Structure 1
Amino acid sequence: MKNIKLTLFSVLFSVLSFNFSNSNENTKTFNKKNVHFSKPGTHSKTQQKKSSFVIDPPKLIAQGDQFYCPQTSINIVTDFRIDHDLSETGTEAIYIQISSGYSSGLDKLELSNPAAHSTITTNWDATAGKLTLTSPTGADVLYSDFVAAIKDVVFTNSSATASGIRTFSITMGKANYLPSTQHYYEYVPSIGITWTSAKDAAAARTYYGLQGYLATILSADEAKLIGEQASGTGWIGGSDAETEGIWKWVTGPESGTVFWNGNANGSTPNYAFWNTGEPNQQGDEDYAHITQPGFGIRGSWNDLSNTGDNSGNYQPKGYVVEYGGMPGEPTLQIAASTKITIPVATPAIDPTPVCVSGSFTFNATATAGAAIRWFDATIGGNLLANGPTYTTPTINTTTTYYVDAGCESNRKSVKATVYETPAVPIAEQETYTKCGSGSLTIKATSNIGTINWYASATDQTIISQGTTFTTPTISSNTTYYAEASNNGCTNPTRTPVNIVIYTPPAVTDETLPLCQFQSIMLDAGISGMSYSWSNANETSQQITVSKGGTYTVLVTSPEGCQSTKKITVEEHKIPQIARVDVEGTRAIIYPVTAEDYFEYSVDGVNYQDSTVFYDVPGGLQTAYAREKSGCGGTTKQFVVLVFPPFFTPNNDTYNDVWEVTGMENYPQAVVTIFDRYGKLIVQLSRFKMSWDGTLNQVPLPASDYWYALKVDDSMPVLRGHFTLKR
């Protein structure tokens, strides 16, 4: 609030002579022959040599704090009068302004019946929110005519959603009057004026005896009236010239009061209204200035240097003078004010809903002094009750009521919610079946609301909500329960939904051998089922097949559970031996075609997967090859020739002769023996199978001897050596 230090004074009627050379606002004077006003911003019309009497300015007294409903018309006063000196009968103009809460483009003041006020013409300034009443001829208008006209001035707002408070100031001077501060504000155009010059110029101005100063802005009401509703941009009384970043009001009664600390990201201890990014200290910018209209936030402030720019948005265009609040100043009544309040009823939150039926109590608050009304329709309707509380009769359906504070256009809806109790849920199936463990989706519906699912008929823990419920994995028979609920209104009867788990047929995949040129029987493995063989077009438990491949059978239980068995039939050939290679005592069996399911032997008893055999006895031997699962086999004889590495012809019955074991199996075989010098010693054949170590019955000396074995013309000659020991 402004620090208003006004003292009441009584004007003493004394004889004074006045020199108006330094007066610049309304100082009223009169003498016995002539009474006149000096106009705002001018000197007196004449400098009277005769004695003059100082008189009180007129006193404006208004009544009319009222409620207003949007989109209607209302007189701004309920009563109005101007108390004035009998010597004064009129003045040039009266100014009526919407000084707070003004909504530009929607609010308007106008004379309701101008034809009844022929001595007055009006001018509405939509930017300033100000209605001016003057004479159409420029002459003074009688106070009585102004009083009559002001009683016919009306306020309108064109928006159905208008809200808040509008304050109307009625004043005789051109300066804007703000009832909340009881101060007057005047914008003085002066292109390019410096801040220091504006400060001095403002201090030189007076308004009906009130001292002027560069405006100080302490509230949003002031900022709006000065910045948005004034006619231009200009200087105000803020500066941080004393200490950079500490902004103070340095004019008027608030001189020395800090209102901002820092730059654009600073803070205020009371009120400030900087434009976006201001103050920014772009240079030596130490003085507060109302921003150019249309540039940034309307009516906001920026910081400038003492001179500002030479042109453009940051060129000073004038300054704002404030009057009022200086110590020792008189209390003026050249302005009066009224206000209208758009009443709004604010209902409390809606009462708690009920099930089936019930009575509800609504509560609401309203703008102070406004009467609360309750209706059954948003427009018109029946008045149900007056006052902050309304209790409904018992109702069984959801019902909307409406409350206002006297304005039908501002009605608010409230709702009494009645929820219906739903019917017993209906399960899509009473019993669901499932083959094997797992989850499945069950379903239940009701006529209204939602479905809660429970694990038992009495359990209170909801495990799922919604018409469908996908169960967790279950492996045994289970029952779930569906309950219908509508916003807390619950049908107590729960519907059971059964789940029966069947065990699928237990099958085991198989791999079976099929002997070449034979057939095999395939068995599904479980009796009493239904069967469907995929690649045999058969429906019996067993089928016979005669070729290899993969066979599948779908086994279906009487409950409809299915399992698929796969039988892999591997067709096995009967082995055939191509040849047997012998290397010393090692024999290698070569089958015509090698298969993993073949096994081999050289004695017909001991079988192995390998075809290689070691330490095979000399002589005629038999090679065996057979299929492991018994499909059949084959044999082939072979000879193992054993050449002794030495012999000892000493008649001890051990190694007394040298002979080739197995040679008897080759009738055409010839072994030729040589000494170390290549001399032929003896030839062995089927007629002579051994050598006793003599030549012509003469014993030969102990030494190494060489042999060459020619089996027949189809086999290579086998060569080697052995030792004769004595």
Structure 2
Amino acid sequence: MKNISFAIISIIFFVFSFYSLHAREKNNIFNRNITHAANDSVKSAKKKLATIDPPVLIAAGNQIYCPQTSLNIVTSITINHDIAETATQAVYIQISSGYSSGLDQLELSNTASHPSIVTNWDATAGKLKLSSPTGADVSYSDFEAAVRDVVFSNSSADASGTRTFSITIGQANYLPSTQHYYLFIPSIGITWTAAKTAAEASTYYGLKGYLATILAADEAQLIGEQASGTGWIGGSDAETEGTWKWVTGPEAGTVMNYTFWNNGEPNNQGDEDYAHITQPGIGIKGSWNDLSNTGSLNSGDPYQPKGFVVEYGGMPGESPLQIAASTKITIPEVQPLIPNPVCDSGSFTITATPITGITINWYDVPTGGTALGTGSSFTTPILNSTTIYYADPGCEIKRKAVTVTVNPTPDIPTTTNPTVPRCGAGSVNLQASSNIGIINWFTTAIGNTSIYTGNNFPTPTIDTNTTYYAEASNNGCINNTRTPVDVIIYAPPAVTDEKDIPLCQGQKIVLDAGITGMAYKWSTGATTQTIEVMTGGTYTVEVTSPAPESCPNTKTITVKEHLIPKIDRIETNGTTAIIYLTKEEDYYEYSVDGFNFQDSNTFYNIPGGLQTAYIREKNGCEGTTQNFVILVFPAFFTPNNDTYNDVWEVTGIENYPQAQVTIFDRYGKLLIELKPSKMFWDGTFNKIPLPSSDYWYALKIDNTKPVLRGHFTLKR
């Protein structure tokens, strides 16, 4: 809080007198003459002090106000004045705290009784001026009478809070919470340092001025939002960048706390070291931003300084002026506590804490009616149903409804089915209802904790007979008689799925449900235990146990049709053969001798000549065969008449009667062409034995197959 002291001295502040008497003069004249004029003002005031005492205002009127009505701001007002001074130019009345712009208003009622006074309402400042229509002084007695007829009104039914009214002789805004005065001095383009000097050189009825400092929310509103202009205030971070302090008045050296009335500033950029109330329309209304000492130098710029705010009061040795008085009104509010509900019937005691000086009346209607009781509590009669009462803090428009709730106890729950069967382990949906409220489910007939809430209860998975209990509850009113619901678990028929049952192509197979004495429903539509099928696929049969269980279970049988194998081709390479089918299946097996079968379709070291490939289905279904020829080309021969390898002969060539074999020496010379009548070579050319060497052959089986080429060795 600001240090406040009291004194009788009133030194008329030149700046104020200049502003009030010569507002139309240019600001630059004020800036040139403010220091000298202030000194002259002090001398003049000292001279006046010897003969005239300043007026003392005494007002009363701490009242309760009901929104959307009019109320006099004072119940009494006295202006004690020096007998030598019986009149003054103006009286100012301001809503100095709690002001709601656009909704709050001050006006003079009964204007016909005050012909010597006219009013001027400043909606921005929340300030009403009473003065003469001619500019002449008005007697203090006339001002007293007029102030008694000034009324306050608020147009909103939702208005709340407290309004403080300051009544003062001087034009400066007065704040009762600080007992300080605040005056905006217009001066376009003035620097912060010049404003600080001018403020400190000024006085107001003997109080020394300084650039305003702001310590509370109501002070921020009065200076920032309700001031007649915007300009410099006494904050700076010139000493330490980023650390903002008040550097003027009794708070000099105190770190600024501006979180409650500013947002987004300061931005602490460059040399912006001085606090300036922001121009309306820029940022948050009534907030401040940081500027350089000169601010913007561009005329009309929103950041060009428009003046400065001077504060008076609180300096060491000063006593507060008594040229101002204050009253306040409070808009009453009441918040009754809602009592706990009762079951079926009962009485309630409703309580509410009133504002000091307010009497609460209790009603059973929102408007009008007769009060049922008075005081901070009210006890109802015995009630059998929910009822609304109203707490009235003295303003009908501020009546607050409070509902006292009577909840009926619900009936015993009823269930759709007291016994619910289920086939096998799993969840069932249990249903119960009552005439009102909700259903809670339990695992015991009494006590324990609810495991589910709702009319439809999906149980957890259960595999044995279980009983659950339904209990009806209505907002805490419980019918303690619980209704049991039995869950009976029946075992479904035990069936076993069968997979990949082989079915030979073109044949039939019998499928069996696998359990007797049941009802059957096959996916084919059959209703017998067994069915006969002749195509592959997936077959299902629903097997249902006899009543009362009537539990179904489904068996799935997959039938895989095994096709008769078809040979696409057989490829040979020397003594190796690979058998290719048109469709390979894992249920086929292969052989080249009809006895030894294998899963692989590749065979090695097959003897030369005509061979047979065998392919069969592993489960005995029909198979297939195909002949193929293995041609064996000897790698060498030794024509020495020892009966071993005496000739070079291609084994198996006899199976190709149209085949032709030609033999060449290493230089490509044709030596012999073997005919079907003679398919061997004895190693001679024109009956002359050829030397040991490598020789080359070319075999053409027919026009559909490629020519086979290779070489062999003749050894002697």
Name the structure 1 match of 2:305: 316
**Conservation of the 8 A alpha-carbon contact between 1:23 and 1:43:** no
Quick check: 2:505–2:562 contact (8 Å CA) kept in 1?
yes
- Mapped contact 1:24–1:43 kept (Cα < 8 A): no
Deviations 1:616-648 (A, max 9, x none): xxxxxxxxx999999999xxxxxxxxxxxxxxx
CA distance 1:95–1:43, shift in 2 (3 Å): farther
Q: Which runs of 5+ in 2 are unaligned?
A: 19-36, 566-583, 600-614, 624-639, 647-653, 658-716
**C-alpha distance in structure 2 between counterparts of 1:315 and 1:353, whole Å:** 63
Deviations 1:429-477 (A, max 9, x none): 2222222222222221222221111123235122211111112222222
Q: 1: distance between equivalents of 2:112 and 2:311?
A: 37
- CA displacement, residues 565-592 of structure 1 (integer Å, 9 cap, x when unaligned): 45678999999xxxxxxxxxxxxxxxxx
Q: How many angstroms apart in 2 are the aligned matches of 1:383 and 1:161?
A: 23
Aligned residue for 1:61? Answer: 58
Is the contact between residue 451 and residue 466 of structure 1 (CA under 8 Å) also seen in structure 2? Answer: yes
Structure-1 separation of matches of 2:70 and 2:246: 41
Q: Aligned partners of 1:290 and 1:514: how far apart in 2?
A: 97
Q: Distance in 2 between matches of 1:243 and 1:545?
A: 99
Give the one of 387, 392, 396 matched to 2:380: 392
Counterpart contact for 2:247–2:254, Cα < 8 Å: no
One-letter identity of the residue aligned with 1:288 = A
1:191 aligned onto 2:179: no
Of 537, 545, 560, the match for 2:550: 560
Asked if the contact 1:189–1:319 (Cα under 8 Å) also holds between the matched residues in 2, the reply is yes
Question: In 2 relative to 1, CA 520–165 (structure 1 residues): closer, same or farther, beyond 3 Å?
Answer: closer
Query: How far 1:243 sits from its partner (Å)?
Result: 4.2
- 1:5 paired residue number: 5
Q: Structure 2 residue aligned with 1:163, among 160, 173, 195? A: 160
The Cα of 1:245 is off from its aligned counterpart by 4.0
Say yes or no: does 1:284 pair with 2:274: no
The 8 Å contact of residues 508 and 534 in structure 2, kept in 1 or not, is answered as: yes
1:210-609 to structure 2, matched below 5 A, reads: 210-252=207-249, 254-260=250-256, 268=257, 275-311=262-298, 312-329=301-318, 331-348=320-337, 350-509=338-497, 523-535=512-524, 538-541=526-529, 552-558=540-546, 559-565=549-555
User: Using the alignment, how far apart are the partners of 1:66 and 1:518 within structure 2?
Assistant: 109
The DSSP-based 3-state class of the residue aligned with 1:123 is strand
The one-letter amino acid of 2:270's match is G
Give the Å deviation of 1:343: 1.4
SS at match of 1:292: coil
Contact kept? 2:471, 2:480, Cα under 8 Å: yes
- Taking the aligned partners of 2:310 and 2:82, their CA distance within structure 1 comes to 29
Q: Could you report, residue by residue, the CA deviation over 1:601-620 in whole angstroms, capped at 9, with x for unpaired residues?
A: x9xxxx99789xxxxxxxxx
Look up the equivalent residue of 1:231 and give its one-letter code.
S
Across the aligned residues of Structure 1 and Structure 2, the Cα RMSD in angstroms comes to 4.5
Letter in 2 for 1:257: G
Which has the larger Rg?
1
Check conservation: 1:198, 1:235, Cα contact below 8 A.
yes
Contact 1:25 1:42 in 2 (8 A): no
| Shift in Å, 1:480 | 1.5
Match of 1:102 in 2: 99
Preserved contact between residue 178 and residue 222 of structure 1 (Cα < 8 Å): yes
Change (3 A) 1:324 1:555: closer
Correspondence 1:164-179 to 2 at 5 A: 164-179=161-176
Q: Structure 2 counterpart of 1:341, which letter?
A: T
Does 1:84 find its partner at 2:89?
no
1:150 aligns with 2:147: yes
Matches within 5 A, 1:668-707: none
- Contact 1:346 / 1:365 at 8 angstroms: preserved in 2? yes
Instruction: Output the CA distance in 1 between the equivalents of 2:532 and 2:245.
Output: 110
Q: Equivalents in 2 of 1:631, 1:274: separation in Å?
A: 96
Structure 1 residue 678: Cα displacement: 8.8
1:352-386 Cα distance to aligned partner (Å, 9 max, x none):
22222222222211222222222223323442221
Letter in structure 1 aligned against 2:398:
N
Cα distance change on mapping 1:59 and 1:8 into 2, 3 Å: closer
Distance in 1, matches of 2:79 and 2:505, equals 133
Structure 2 residue matching 1:539: 3-state secondary structure: coil
Return the offset for 1:513. Answer: 8.3
Deviations 1:267-319 (A, max 9, x none): x3xx6667433233333233322222221122222222322221312221111
Within 1, Cα distance between the matches of 2:241 and 2:559? 100
The one-letter amino acid paired with 2:309 is V
Give the Å deviation of 1:109: 0.4
Aligned partners of 2:589 and 2:598 also within 8 Å: no
**Cα separation, 2, equivalents of 1:95 and 1:6:** 21
Aligned residues of 2:179 and 2:320 also touching (Cα < 8 A): no
Contact 1:248–1:259 (8 Å) recurs in 2: yes
Output the CA distance in 2 between the equivalents of 1:626 and 1:128.
109
Native 8 Å contact 1:218 1:272 kept in 2? no
- What is the CA distance between 1:562 and its match in structure 2? 2.0
User: Cα distance 1:127–1:528, how it changes in 2: closer, same or farther (>3 A)?
Assistant: same
> Is the contact made by 1:599 and 1:628 (CA closer than 8 Å) also made in structure 2?
no
Aligned ranges for residues 619-698 of structure 1 at < 5 Å? none
8 Å CA contact retained: 1:6, 1:325: no
Taking the aligned partners of 1:373 and 1:118, their CA distance within structure 2 comes to: 42
- The answer on whether the counterparts of 1:62 and 1:77 sit within 8 Å (CA) in structure 2 is yes
Q: Is the 8 A contact 1:202 1:213 kept in 2?
A: yes
CA distance in 2 between counterparts of 1:247 and 1:514 reads 95
> Deviations 1:375-406 (Å, cap 9, x if unpaired)?
22332344222111122222122222222321
How far apart, in 2, do the equivalents of 1:471 and 1:23 lie? 86
Q: 1:25 Cα shift?
A: 4.5
Task: Determine if contact 2:77/2:148 at 8 Å carries over to the other structure.
Answer: yes
CA distance 1:678–1:464, change in 2 (3 Å): same
CA drift at 1:198: 1.8
Per-residue Cα deviation, 1:498-557 (whole angstroms, up to 9, x for no partner)? 22222222334568889999987765443332233443x543445667888876543322
Report the 3-state secondary structure (helix = DSSP H, G, I; strand = E; otherwise coil) of the residue aligned with 2:145.
Answer: helix
2:284 partner amino acid: I
Structure 1: any 5+ residue segments left out of the alignment? 12-17, 27-39, 261-267, 576-593, 612-624, 634-675, 680-702, 706-712, 717-726
Distance in structure 1 (CA, Å) of the matches to 2:60 and 2:392:
25
1:132 to partner: Cα distance: 0.9
Query: Structure 2 vs 1, CA of residues 55 and 471 (structure 1 numbering), >3 Å: closer, same or farther?
Result: same
Q: Which shows bigger deviation, 501-510 or 220-229?
A: 501-510
- Cα distance in 1 for partners of 2:403, 2:263 equals 43
Deviations 1:36-74 (A, max 9, x none): xxxx99989xx99x9995111222221111111111100
> What is the distance in 1 between the residues matched to 2:137 and 2:555?
117
